[in-house]
């Protein structure tokens, strides 16, 4: 399931309604006083987390959102009605930025909270407000105030339980294709995955979500390639699977691949090496058993990684995938139990 993860919007809160200039016109009261009411407040622009949404695709075609204006005041001291807020549904994990300053405004993760991004203008004052001992018949009134206008950027950080990290063509998409119903595009060329893909895994007792993050390259944390654009998604995943290509066409052996990947993760602003991560060595169907054993020993000795945190699979044939899925389910179930 590929998803649009970024959107640029212009949001305009409603203007306040104008105050009224009015005087009492009642029988037997020829010189009635001022009775102009205040204008109503303009509507806010509010974002609300919708648990049924997992994409920003709704904002591909509609990019301008305008809340209604408050109603003007009227005679008999009647205030204008305030406009309703414009509520915009977004998926959980959406971060809202000011598009000009790049300042992070709101991190939307709670479905019980209404996140106000642009505030509607206050209503103007009617002439009844300006009556005084020295001015019994004021004609003064004020117009409503303008609502806020903001240009914002929405970024969706995936909230997957597991994130797949690796260089292009390491086999992440093939793995996700095999173990879930997700169908990412697969090919034998760099940057096959242009957007993160989500796959739901149905375990024996519960389900969990795996996110296939676009392939990283050396220098990704400095802006090279496509990886930097999606390092933000990795920051929200609970556990990382670092994919290693055992049959890489370049000269990087498995240990060097792991070191390079961990280096890019550590250089990112949130230092993603602090997350729990497992090593997944792919393409064992192209290797001899003795070669696999030697690689496992090398990873343990040179990088200090525990044997139980290293998995050997073939995403193409499915060998070893059952074991890693079982281990994932056990760890995720334990984490959820501790949080509950």
Report which of residues 1 and 166 the model is more confident about.
Answer: 166
Query: Which residue from 294, 296, 313 is spatially nearest to 305, judged by alpha carbons?
Result: 296
Residue 119 has a pLDDT of 98
The answer to whether residues 313 and 321 touch, using CB atoms and an 8 Å cutoff, is yes
State pLDDT tens for residues 156-200: 876 678 888 888 788 888 898 888 765 554 444 344 444 567 777
Mean pLDDT of the chain: 84
Mean pLDDT of 290-312: 95
Residue 195 has a pLDDT of 56
State pLDDT tens for residues 91-149: 888 999 999 999 999 989 888 999 999 999 999 999 999 999 899 889 999 999 999 99
pTM over 0.75, yes/no: no
What are the distances in angstroms from CA 239 to CA 107, 210, 211, 272, 337? 21, 9, 10, 10, 16
Confidence check: pLDDT of 270 > 80:
no
Query: Cα(116)–Cα(123) distance, rounded to whole angstroms?
Result: 18
CA dihedral 162, 166, 169, 170 (to 10 degrees): -80
Report which of residues 58 and 62 the model is more confident about.
Answer: 62
End-to-end CA distance of the chain: 28
State pLDDT tens for residues 195-242: 567 777 877 777 788 888 765 544 434 443 344 455 666 666 778 899
Report which of residues 142 and 272 the model is more confident about.
Answer: 142
Residue 219 has a pLDDT of 44
Residue 295 has a pLDDT of 95
Full set of structural domains in the chain with CATH: 1-156 (2.70.210.12), 162-339 (3.40.50.300)
Residue 283 has a pLDDT of 94
Side-chain half-sphere exposure of 26, counting CA atoms within 13 A: 8
Residue 215 has a pLDDT of 58
Query: Cα(243)–Cα(119) distance, rounded to whole angstroms?
Result: 46
């Amino acid at each position: 399931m590929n998803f649009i993860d970024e959107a640029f919007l212009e949001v305009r809160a409603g203007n306040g309604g104008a105050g009224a200039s009015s005087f009492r016109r009642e029988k037997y009261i020829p010189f009635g006083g001022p009775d102009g009411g205040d204008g109503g407040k303009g509507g806010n622009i509010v974002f609300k987390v919708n648990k049924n949404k997992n994409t920003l695709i709704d904002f591909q075609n509609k990019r301008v959102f305008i809340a209604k204006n408050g109603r003007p005041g009227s005679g008999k001291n009647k205030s204008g009605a305030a406009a309703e807020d414009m509520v915009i549904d977004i998926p959980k994990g959406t971060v809202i930025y000011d598009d000009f300053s790049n300042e992070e405004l709101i991190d939307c993760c709670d479905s019980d909270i209404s996140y106000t991004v642009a505030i509607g203008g206050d209503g103007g004052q009617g002439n009844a407000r300006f009556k005084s001992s020295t001015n019994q018949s004021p004609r003064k009134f004020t117009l409503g105030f303008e609502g806020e206008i903001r240009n914002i950027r929405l970024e969706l950080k995936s909230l997957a339980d597991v994130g797949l990290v690796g260089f292009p063509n390491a086999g992440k998409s093939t793995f996700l294709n095999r173990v879930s119903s997700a169908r990412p595009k697969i090919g034998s060329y760099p940057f096959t995955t242009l957007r993160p893909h989500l796959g739901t895994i149905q375990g024996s007792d519960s389900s969990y979500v795996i996110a296939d993050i676009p392939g990283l390259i050396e220098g990704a944390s400095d802006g090279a390639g496509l990886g930097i654009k999606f390092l933000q998604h990795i920051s929200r995943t609970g556990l990382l699977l670092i994919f290693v290509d055992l049959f890489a066409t370049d000269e990087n052996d498995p240990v060097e691949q792991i070191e390079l990947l961990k280096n890019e993760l550590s250089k990112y602003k949130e230092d993603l090496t602090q997350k729990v991560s497992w090593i997944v060595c792919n393409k064992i169907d192209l290797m001899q058993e003795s070669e696999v054993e030697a690689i496992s020993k090398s990873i343990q000795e040179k990088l200090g990684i525990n044997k139980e945190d290293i998995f050997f699979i073939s995403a193409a044939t499915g060998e070893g995938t059952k074991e890693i899925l079982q281990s994932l389910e056990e760890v995720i179930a334990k984490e959820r139990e501790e949080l509950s």
